[in-house]
Amino acid sequence: MTTMTEASVREFKMPDVGEGLTEAEILKWYVQPGDTVADGQVVCEVETAKAAVELPIPYDGVVRALHFPEGTTVDVGMSIIAVDVAGGAGGAPVAEVPAQAGAQSPAAQEPRPEPAAAASTAAASTDAAPVAEAPKAEAAKSVGSGRQPVLVGYGVAASSTKRRPRKGPQIAVPQVPDTVQAELNGHGGAPAVKERPLAKPPVRKLAKDLGVDLATVVPSGPDGIITREDVHAAVSPAAPAAPAVQPAAPMAPVPVTAPAPGFVPSYDTTRETRVPVKGVRKATAAAMVGSAFTAPHVTEFVTIDVTRTLKLVEELKQDKDMQGLRVNPLLLIAKALLIAVKRHPEINASWDEAAQEIVVKHYVNLGIAAATPRGLLVPNIKDAHAKTLPQLAESLGELVSTAREGRTSPAAMQGGTVTITNVGVFGVDTGTPILNPGESAILAIGAIKLQPWVHKGKVKPRQVTTLALSFDHRLVDGELGSKVLADVAAILEQPKKLITWG
């Protein structure tokens, strides 16, 4: 294996790809060790809690190492790829950045299931293996000696953590052959080297706050990872006390009790599928729980005849000014809501808990809930209130296409003021939508169906739908919410109000 020189290697760290996110999952690598890359070239795609983002490399050079495989969740600030900016003169590509302390065993070079974040290094025990710290130490040196690796348009989250220098005796520990170490462990020789327990940074912080030694915690996560539940179980009064650790003896394996004859498991793994909660699903769950238990929701309903609106949609499709644009009922419903907000601007507000103030927005960033393969996304159209109908149609088309392709940026999902969710596309009559966090109102559109309706004194088949408006009752009274919903309904029943009220 050819060793890279410190001066020629640049480590690209996982950047903060949007609004203070702390981690991202590597979805796909577009390069492999040995490939030549150029400044600005996309090397991988990562998924955060808000969007899938492609990361460009800020160096010219040759890829020498990919530190994590696809599917790994990496904390912001950790090195994910090493690039030899000398142009590949150093030799063949390697699978991982070698440690300066000496050659590693093949097992030590394999990526760990859950690497610790750089920010938690200061809190880690001083007996952590240098082999595991080598890639991060190499990355810290390379950042100081060259160009700072950042994602174009964002940047790496700043960190004030400084690494303490390693002591000399620690460097030699990992070089002891496994067979020799086993002999020492079995015959009372030198004490066994304790492997650093596997746990994510938040779990390590929780253990530190609760005074729990992770070495005494029995892991229940995949690949021996310690979870938050394991830490809580370790401090629970009902949990049995952990046995004292003998310094000269290795940890005994946890005994497994064989099931009694005739025992039937409480679940069948062949009939269940467990899906990790992460990415968009994890963020959506947290946001909805926070919204539902923070803002007192009120939902009102109205059933209306939208036959005239559907006729106007067909006429607009033939209009030369709307050619090539997405024209559908959602477009006119969005315009109706914008006019209702204009007539009742107090609905377009947010609740500032810290300042105990109601913040009325003089602009409308119209959110559109979109079901995508990655989960529910709510991108918004910036300054939708100032757009003409053709401009609004163009923005809607771009928003929907980008969301379906999974290319919605984090910025497109920030700063929304009111939202529309169309549950009618799934054949649902109506619903009680939960507010998007930070917003005061959300309008749900039900399915449009041909139904018997009293029109001009006679029962006729008409196109009918049900609208539902949920609002935050802290800042929106029933009167205000009712007026907004009634205005939207009136416009959709009599589309000429788009002109008289608009």
Residue for token digits 């490939």? 35
- Residue with tokens 């079901």, as numbered in its chain: 371
Q: At 230, is the secondary structure helix, strand, or coil?
A: helix
Helices (H), ranges, 35-190: 106-109, 130-145, 168-172, 178-186
Q: CB within 8 A of 158, min separation 6: which ones?
A: none
- For residue 387, CA distances in Å to 23, 172, 226, 329, 488 come to 36, 67, 52, 17, 18
Domain 9-176 bears CATH identifier 3.90.1150.10: no
CB neighbours (10 Å) of residue 362? 8
Whole-angstrom Cα distance, residue 491 to residue 368? 20
Residue 417 CA to residue 475 CA, distance in Å, equals: 14
Q: Which residues in the chain are classed under CATH 3.30.559.10?
A: 279-500
Cα separation, 415 vs 395, whole angstroms:
16
Q: Active site includes 187?
A: no
Domain with CATH 2.40.50.100 in the chain: 9-176
Amino acid at 44: C
Q: What Rg, from alpha-carbon coordinates, does the chain have?
A: 29
Catalytic residue among 232, 297, 344, 473: 473
Query: What is the rounded CA–CA span in Å between residue 393 and residue 380?
Result: 13
Residue 487 confidence (pLDDT): 98
Helices vs. strands in the chain: H and E counts, helices first: 12, 21
- Nearby residues of 88 by Cβ (< 8 Å), 6 or more positions away: 34, 36, 61, 62
Backbone angles phi, psi at 379, to 5 degrees: -70, 160
Report DSSP letters for 353-399, one per residue. TTTTEEEE-SS--EEE-EEETTEEE--EETTGGG--HHHHHHHHHHH
pLDDT for the residue 373: 74
Length of the chain: 502
Report the Cα 1 to chain-centroid distance in Å. 37
Q: How far apart (Å, rounded) are the C-alpha atoms in residues 77 and 163?
A: 14
The CATH number of 279-500 is 3.30.559.10
Residue whose entry in the numeric block shows the structure tokens 């990415």: 279
Q: Which stretch of DSSP H or E encloses residue 198?
A: strand 198-199
**pLDDT given at position 400:** 87
Question: Structure tokens of 497?
Answer: 């109000």
pLDDT in tens, the chain (502 residues): 444 456 788 999 988 766 567 788 898 999 999 999 999 899 998 887 667 788 999 989 999 999 999 988 888 889 999 999 886 444 444 444 433 333 333 333 444 444 334 333 333 333 433 333 444 444 444 444 344 443 443 444 444 444 444 444 444 444 444 544 444 444 444 444 456 778 777 777 778 877 888 888 888 887 788 888 888 787 764 444 444 444 444 555 545 555 555 545 555 567 787 878 777 667 777 777 777 777 889 999 999 999 999 999 999 999 999 999 999 999 999 999 999 999 999 999 998 988 889 999 999 999 999 887 777 889 999 999 999 999 999 999 999 888 888 788 888 888 999 999 999 999 999 999 999 888 999 999 999 999 999 999 999 999 999 999 999 999 999 999 999 999 999 999 999 999 999 8
